[in-house]
Amino acid sequence: MTAADAAAPVTALRSGSRDDPVSEVWRTLLSADLDRYRALLAEALAPQRDYLTDAERALYDGGKKVRPLLLALSAHLVHGPGELPDKAARGAVSLEMLHVATLIHDDVVDESAVRRGVPSVNAARGPGQAIIVGDMQFVQAVRGFVECIDSDRDLGLVKSVLDVAHRICCGELDELRVDPSWRTEVLLERYWRTIDRKTAVLFALACECGIALVDGRTRDVRRIGHYGRRVGRAFQVMDDLFDLTQDESASGKPRGVDIARRRLSLPIVYAMAELGDGHRLSRFMRGDGPPPDDLTPLVDDVRATAGFARAYADARRQALDALEYLRPFPRNPYRDALERIALHVVDRGR
């Protein structure tokens, strides 16, 4: 990757969104898969109908459904354009239910009142009910994966789902147990391990399930998992950057939430190392005083550092690395779409 590759689209963080290939791929390449996904999701949610409120429905109705999309594209990558097996289509639904469970639990842990610009389940129902509802999504997700089993090989997939759920919990706990006084090298190592567990593993699982559920080769499952993991890393780093650049109208949450919660995201770790221990950002992140009424000066401090651009370069490097794992697969519209999405993750403006 050249210096120009790494630095060029930092302006995308400020200039607004580009064309959205996620929506385009759903609309054009995977329109039949989307219709099927919606029907199966309604079927999967039916046992919960009496317990769901508008807050949970908003989570399922909103978002771009990136993880089910990655599962479907990965499946078609080796299966071709024909209709996917039923277990693959149902796997996409179960994967999204697992994702929704993590979102609900995240908002409880973070005490978040808003998710995607609307009241979170935590705000709408209180943390007690939110935890139970989140658990319900997780249990239903695992039940869905179990129902996908039609071969001995699929049993390993269920174990993978449970392993991923365990890693996500570890990642959430790791994020809460970081000590800001640790050396920069330790903080960086901890950051990458945490986002691997908290975010990237679910992207990897989506891709792996896609190929595994169409009975693809084990080596292809591994390759596509590496692709998904790197896309997931890039996705999380970009979210960390957007926390510092997007206002509430774009992100659905106030700017600088990571600073307010003293969460050591990648650009903040880089900024602290660059600005030094005596700087107001470093002092605050290490526990010196309550959050200020106006976070703008601290946000601006981070954005003015070279570390902000360095974090973007790291995200872009992950996306470019992801493309390398697609090379062994035949060139077809599904591989093209996976390439576009990997690059869109770091080129999107919102």
Query: What is d(CA 41, CA 60) in angstroms, rounded to the nearest whole number?
Result: 9
Contact call for residues 102 and 63 (beta carbons, < 8 A):
no
Q: Phi/psi at 283 (nearest 5 deg)?
A: -60, -45
Provide the CB-side half-sphere exposure for 7 (13 A, CA).
Answer: 5
Q: Domains for the chain: give ranges and CATH numbers.
A: 21-227+326-347 (1.10.600.10)
Residue 270 identity: Y
Instruction: Identify the residue whose tokens are 């594209």.
Output: 73
Is the pTM value of this prediction over 0.95?
Answer: no
Q: Which two tokens stand for residue 73?
A: 């594209």
Q: Which two tokens stand for residue 258?
A: 């990571």
Query: What is d(CA 279, CA 239) in angstroms, rounded to the nearest whole number?
Result: 24
Per-residue pLDDT of the chain (350 residues; tens, 9 = 90+): 343 344 333 333 433 344 689 999 999 999 999 999 999 999 999 999 999 999 999 999 988 999 999 999 999 999 999 999 999 999 999 999 999 999 999 999 888 888 877 889 999 999 999 999 999 999 999 999 998 877 777 788 888 899 999 999 999 999 989 888 899 999 999 999 999 999 999 999 999 999 999 999 999 999 999 999 999 999 999 999 999 998 766 556 778 999 999 999 999 999 999 999 999 999 999 998 787 889 999 999 999 999 999 999 999 999 999 999 999 999 999 999 999 999 999 998 64
Dump strand ranges (E) for the chain. Answer: 114-115, 118-119
Q: Which two tokens stand for residue 200?
A: 């990237």
Query: What is d(CA 320, CA 6) in angstroms, rounded to the nearest whole number?
Result: 10
Residue 292: left (phi > 0), alpha (psi -120 to 50), or beta?
A: beta
Query: What is d(CA 29, CA 301) in angstroms, rounded to the nearest whole number?
Result: 43
